[in-house]
């Protein structure tokens, strides 16, 4: 029985999906329908990950050695830093997120991806948009609006590509054969809908027809915080909700917790952004509203954290055997920690110290890397062998990837959080000079922590190189297998 | 929760709520703020930047100065901004009326620049600092912006545009460092950063 034979699908009626053989055939057909699209997105995401990592290392090195590459205008600190951010956020993370989302929607809806070529074209244009955008930033055309640095001439391309992808996800959902909606689907559909709203509103109000004065700052942080809260977070949580129970073969602990977690996130997260402007030139009510919403985030974070934790309860020994599970659980735990830390950082008394310091940078990496990126790595390790029906060539490379990424990012976050907080304590104490090469000063006290951060970056790079090697290796095998025209076996649905 | 439209409705309403609360209402409340006449001096505040300073803002923006320098002074009693002499008063929304983009910043790897035009009024200081921050601020981790300057062969006598540099930073004899127009514009922008007008709402 061929995996791609359309006759199997035609013979299927939704009521017959109980039959195991037919179910497997359907899953194989879904995976085959996603194959080209997902490999395109994962492959280009990997390229952006590597580019973003190199930019990150240059940025980090420059912070303690300002003369490093100082005479090349397009590599000056203030351009490489946003180039790093946009490469990892819109290149790597968003492309991985899109691919994982499409696959989860197809699997959970029991519907193949129809006319995948449309998404492929959108993916190609998305990549062109990101490349033009990052080239523009390096050329000095960046907008100096955080998280929206990509110049206005590249963003319409990004928006149109994205809209096409989101529409395709929602069309697939409309053609679903499975009427039951799993918790992951709520999160994924919400993310597909939220992101284009955020992106188009921010583009129009900040780049095309900019609003006047500090309203720009409110739009900026409404957008920037929601990219995390309403785009990456729901996809990360949705993926964890799928993969942990899937790998363990157990149901999610409590349906009621899932419902509370989802709606409280939807309700509170989108109001958080103004906590980036505490003490700033804005009306107090605006900032207070965001601080309150940030504190309310405790509800979705704790409910989701408990739900995941008790799903794992009694199965923690399986972390030894399953790399996918290891990435997912690391990501899930980081989500809980980073979110609760975020609640603290939003408070006026804490923000007085930590605002304007490296502690915020550490926090951002805890969310984007320790949580979201680790979840995406786990998802890629699960999905790729199923869609191309080839096993990962080396378990050792996956182990190296996990441990280098996990140790590297912890070595990033912990010292920089401590260093950033001490920097803040020094900054609000007017007796400590801001800069004095011979005394304890705000600028010079950060340097040792910045050096540790550079070291952590190299450890993370080792992990990414292991990942890239695995990926190139498995793709090479896939191409070889395709050349030999061997009929691929059907992977069991575990 | 197996009914798609309900989820979509909830998802729509939640984001619409914050869009109204954090985008629309701020625009209605202070999006059309206007200049005022300062009673003490009789001047209109804030004024539009002169052309060269405006060009300098583009240099500031293109080179990502915002990633290390904020442009906002927190109120007395909250942080040490005023004690550090980063401003005589907190900054308020009216200070930013003519800024586009508004570069409040979220990081202080370097000091706040809301009032750098008040603190450092010397063009020479700024040019030397941009050419190599170690000249004026030893121990700084700010990158040098030598690419905003050019090295030229010096004539018989130094050109009037040449940048005066301490010995250990000076180029080899026979050549001189001249700021490019970008550097001069950037300095004009920095000198224009003054949020010290006595606004009633900032008292």
Alpha carbon separation from A228 to A91, A191, A233, A318, B16 (Å, rounded): 15, 10, 6, 30, 17
B chain contacts of residue A144, beta-carbon cutoff 8 Å: 60-62, 64, 66, 101, 103
> Under CATH, domain A23-483 is a member of which superfamily?
Cytochrome c oxidase-like, subunit I domain (1.20.210.10)
Can you give the pLDDT at residue B140? 97
User: What is the rounded average pLDDT of the residues A94-103?
Assistant: 98
Of residues A145, A106, A428, A460, the one with CA closest to residue B102: A145
Distance CA A243, CA A216 (A): 39
Q: Is residue B1 part of a domain?
A: no
Task: Please give, rounded to a whole number of angstroms, the shortest distance from the CA of B168 to a CA of chain A.
Answer: 16
- The number of folded domains in chain B is 1
Q: Say if the Cβ atoms of A443 and B139 lie within 8 Å.
A: yes
Can you give the pLDDT at residue A24? 87
Q: Say if the Cβ atoms of B108 and A352 lie within 8 Å.
A: no
Distance CA B52, CA B71 (A): 20
Q: Say if the Cβ atoms of B101 and A145 lie within 8 Å.
A: yes
Q: Which two tokens stand for residue A366?
A: 């805890």
Q: Say if the Cβ atoms of B145 and A277 lie within 8 Å.
A: no
Of residues B35, B32, B34, B33, the one with CA closest to residue B45: B35
The reply to whether B155 touches chain A by the CB within 8 Å rule is: no
Q: Which of A71, A212, A274 has the CB atom closest to B31's CB atom?
A: A212
The reply to whether B9 touches chain A by the CB within 8 Å rule is: no
- Which of A212, A228, A447 to probe the B interface (max B CBs under 10 A)? A212
User: What is the rounded average pLDDT of the residues A287-297?
Assistant: 97
**Cβ–Cβ pairs < 8 A, chains A and B:** 225
Q: Is residue B156 part of a domain?
A: yes
Q: Is B32 exposed, middle or buried (0-12, 13-18, 19+ CB in 10 A)?
A: exposed
Instruction: Using DSSP, state whether B35 is helix, strand or coil.
Output: coil
Q: Is-contact A448 A419, C-beta < 8 A?
A: yes
Task: Please give, rounded to a whole number of angstroms, the shortest distance from the CA of A192 to a CA of chain B.
Answer: 10
Can you give the pLDDT at residue B155? 81
φ/ψ (deg, to 5) at A458: -70, -35
State the DSSP string of A255-269: HHHHHHHHHHHHHHG
Q: A489 falls in which pLDDT band (50, 70, 90)?
A: low
Residue A1 has pLDDT above 90, yes or no: no
The reply to whether B83 touches chain A by the CB within 8 Å rule is: yes
Q: Which two tokens stand for residue B66?
A: 């915002």
User: What is the rounded average pLDDT of the residues A91-102?
Assistant: 98
Q: Say if the Cβ atoms of B144 and A282 lie within 8 Å.
A: no
- Which of B143, B145, B147 to probe the A interface (max A CBs under 10 A)? B143
**How many CB atoms are closer than 10 A to CB A300?**
23
Q: Which of A62, A193, A430 has the CB atom closest to B11's CB atom?
A: A193
Distance CA A172, CA A166 (A): 10
pTM of the model: 0.94
Distance CA B188, CA B33 (A): 26
User: What tens digit of pLDDT does each residue of A422-453 get?
Assistant: 999 999 999 999 999 999 999 999 999 999 99
Of residues A463, A455, A464, the one with CA closest to residue A404: A463
Task: Please give, rounded to a whole number of angstroms, the shortest distance from the CA of A263 to a CA of chain B.
Answer: 8
State the DSSP string of A115-173: THHHHHHHHHHHHHHHHHHHHHIIIII---STT--S-TTTHHHHHHHHHHHHHHHHHHH
DSSP state of A18: T
Can you give the pLDDT at residue A494? 43
Of residues B94, B89, B114, B90, the one with CA closest to residue B104: B114
Alpha carbon separation from A367 to A229, A309, A338, A476, B59 (Å, rounded): 10, 18, 6, 33, 32
> Which residue of A lies nearest to B106 if distances are taken between CA atoms?
A356
In angstroms, how far is the first alpha carbon of chain A from the final one? Answer: 19
Q: Is residue B123 part of a domain?
A: yes
Q: Which two tokens stand for residue A399?
A: 């182990």
> Which residue of A lies nearest to B132 if distances are taken between CA atoms?
A67
Can you give the pLDDT at residue B156? 80
A chain contacts of residue B69, beta-carbon cutoff 8 Å: none
* Contacts with B29 (C-beta within 8 Å, 6 or more apart), sequence order: A283
DSSP state of B180: -
Percent of chain A with pLDDT over 90: 90
Task: Note down the domain range covering B163.
Answer: 49-202
Can you give the pLDDT at residue A5? 42
Quick one: how many helices (H) and strands (E) in chain A?
Answer: 18, 0
The reply to whether B79 touches chain A by the CB within 8 Å rule is: yes
Q: What is the mean pLDDT of each run of 10 residues along chain B (203 residues)?
A: 87 96 95 91 91 97 97 96 96 95 97 97 98 97 97 85 93 93 98 93 82
Taking the domains of chain A in order of start, what are their residue ranges? 23-483
Q: Is residue B8 part of a domain?
A: no
B chain contacts of residue A212, beta-carbon cutoff 8 Å: 31-33, 97, 100
Q: How many Cα atoms within 13 Å fall on the side-chain side of residue A309? A: 11
- Which of A201, A213, A439 to probe the B interface (max B CBs under 10 A)? A213
User: What is the rounded average pLDDT of the residues A276-300?
Assistant: 96
Helix (H) / strand (E) containing A456? helix A442-483
* Contacts with A261 (C-beta within 8 Å, 6 or more apart), sequence order: A237, A299, A300, A303, A304, A307
Q: Are strands B149-153 and B175-179 parallel, antiparallel or unpaired?
A: antiparallel
Can you give the pLDDT at residue A4? 41
φ/ψ (deg, to 5) at B69: -125, 125
Region of residue A366 (left: phi > 0; alpha: psi -120 to 50; beta: else):
alpha
Q: Position of tokens 């207070």?
A: A288
Sign of CA pseudo-dihedral A259, A261, A265, A267: positive
Distance CA A471, CA A291 (A): 42
Higher pLDDT, B68 or A491: B68
Q: Which two tokens stand for residue A331?
A: 């990501």
User: What tens digit of pLDDT does each residue of A341-356 get?
Assistant: 999 999 999 999 999 9
Q: A8 falls in which pLDDT band (50, 70, 90)?
A: very low
Of residues B42, B54, B184, the one with CA closest to residue B127: B184
**How many CB atoms are closer than 10 A to CB A362?**
25
Q: A201 falls in which pLDDT band (50, 70, 90)?
A: very high
Helix (H) / strand (E) containing A189? helix A183-202
A chain contacts of residue B4, beta-carbon cutoff 8 Å: 173, 181, 189
Residue A15 has pLDDT above 70, yes or no: no
Can you give the pLDDT at residue B202? 83
Of residues B127, B133, B129, B121, the one with CA closest to residue B178: B127
DSSP state of A318: G
Distance CA A67, CA A377 (A): 35
Task: Please give, rounded to a whole number of angstroms, the shortest distance from the CA of B159 to a CA of chain A.
Answer: 24
Can you give the pLDDT at residue A7? 42
Q: What is the CATH number of the domain that holds B61?
A: 1.10.760.10
Q: Say if the Cβ atoms of B27 and A215 lie within 8 Å.
A: yes
> Which residue of A lies nearest to B59 if distances are taken between CA atoms?
A140
* Cα A203 → chain centroid: 21
User: What is the rounded average pLDDT of the residues A178-198?
Assistant: 94
Q: Is-contact A178 A109, C-beta < 8 A?
A: yes
State the DSSP string of A407-425: HHHHHHHHHHHHHHHHHHH
């Amino acid at each position: 029985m061929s995996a791609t034979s359309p006759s199997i699908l035609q013979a299927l009626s939704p009521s017959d999906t109980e039959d195991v053989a037919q179910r497997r055939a359907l899953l194989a057909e879904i995976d085959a329908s996603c194959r080209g699209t997902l490999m395109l997105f994962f492959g280009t995401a990997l390229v952006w990950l590597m580019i973003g990592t190199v930019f990150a290392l240059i940025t980090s090195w420059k912070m303690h050695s300002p003369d490093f590459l100082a005479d090349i205008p397009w590599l000056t600190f203030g351009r490489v830093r946003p180039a790093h951010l946009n490469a990892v956020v819109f290149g790597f993370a968003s492309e991985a997120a899109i691919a994982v989302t499409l696959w989860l929607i197809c699997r959970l809806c029991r519907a193949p991806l129809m006319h995948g070529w449309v998404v492929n074209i959108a993916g190609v244009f998305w990549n062109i948009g990101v490349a033009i955008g990052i080239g523009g930033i390096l050329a000095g055309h960046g907008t100096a609006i955080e998280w929206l640095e990509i110049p206005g001439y590249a963003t319409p391309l990004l928006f149109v590509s994205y809209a096409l992808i989101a529409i395709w996800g929602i069309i697939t959902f409309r053609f679903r054969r499975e009427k039951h909606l799993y918790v992951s689907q709520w999160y994924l559909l919400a993310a597909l809908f939220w992101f284009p709203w955020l992106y188009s509103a921010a583009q129009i109000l900040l780049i095309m027809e900019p609003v006047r004065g500090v309203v720009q700052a409110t739009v900026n942080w409404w957008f920037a915080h929601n990219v995390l809260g309403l785009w990456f977070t729901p996809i990360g949580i949705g993926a964890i909700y799928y993969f942990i129970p899937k790998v363990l073969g157990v149901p999610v602990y409590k349906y009621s917790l899932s419902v509370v977690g989802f709606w409280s996130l939807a309700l509170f997260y989108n109001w958080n952004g103004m906590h980036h402007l505490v003490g700033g030139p804005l009306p107090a009510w605006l900032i207070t509203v965001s601080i309150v919403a940030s504190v309310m985030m405790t509800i979705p974070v704790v409910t989701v954290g408990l739900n995941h934790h008790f799903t794992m309860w009694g199965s923690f020994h399986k972390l030894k055997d399953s790399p996918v599970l290891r990435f997912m659980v690391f990501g899930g735990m980081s989500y809980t920690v980073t979110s609760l830390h975020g609640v603290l950082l939003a408070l006026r008394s804490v923000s007085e110290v930590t605002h304007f310091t490296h502690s915020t940078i550490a926090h951002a990496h805890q969310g984007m890397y320790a949580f979201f990126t680790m979840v995406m790595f786990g998802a890629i390790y699960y999905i790729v062998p199923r869609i191309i029906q080839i096993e990962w060539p080396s378990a050792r490379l996956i182990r190296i990837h996990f441990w280098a990424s996990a140790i590297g990012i912890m070595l990033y976050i912990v010292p920089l959080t401590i260093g950033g907080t001490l920097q803040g304590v020094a900054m609000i104490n007017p007796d400590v000079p801001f800069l004095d090469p011979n005394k304890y000063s705000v600028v010079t006290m950060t340097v040792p922590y910045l050096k540790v951060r550079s070291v952590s970056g190299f450890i993370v790079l080792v992990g990414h190189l292991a990942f890239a090697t695995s990926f190139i290796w498995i793709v090479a095998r896939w191409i070889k297998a395709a050349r030999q025209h061997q009929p691929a076996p059907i992977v069991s649905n575990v | 929760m197996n009914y798609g439209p309900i989820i979509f409705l909830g998802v729509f309403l939640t984001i619409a709520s914050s869009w109204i609360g954090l985008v629309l209402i701020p625009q209605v409340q202070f999006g059309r703020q206007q200049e005022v006449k300062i009673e003490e001096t009789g001047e209109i505040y804030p004024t539009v930047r002169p052309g060269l300073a405006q060009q300098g803002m583009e240099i500031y923006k293109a080179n990502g100065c915002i990633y290390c320098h904020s442009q906002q002074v927190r109120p007395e009693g909250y942080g040490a901004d005023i004690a550090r002499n980063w401003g005589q008063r907190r900054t308020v929304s009216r200070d930013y009326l003519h800024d586009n983009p508004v570069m409040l910043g979220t990081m202080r790897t370097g000091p706040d620049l809301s009032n750098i035009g008040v603190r450092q009024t010397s063009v020479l200081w700024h040019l030397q600092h941009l050419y190599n921050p170690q000249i004026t601020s030893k121990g700084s981790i700010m990158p040098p912006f030598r690419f905003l300057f050019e090295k030229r062969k010096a004539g018989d006598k130094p050109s009037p545009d040449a940048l005066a540099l301490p010995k250990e930073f000076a180029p080899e004899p026979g050549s001189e460092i001249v700021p490019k127009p970008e550097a001069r514009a950037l300095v004009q922008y920095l000198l224009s950063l003054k949020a010290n007008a006595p606004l009633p709402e900032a008292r």
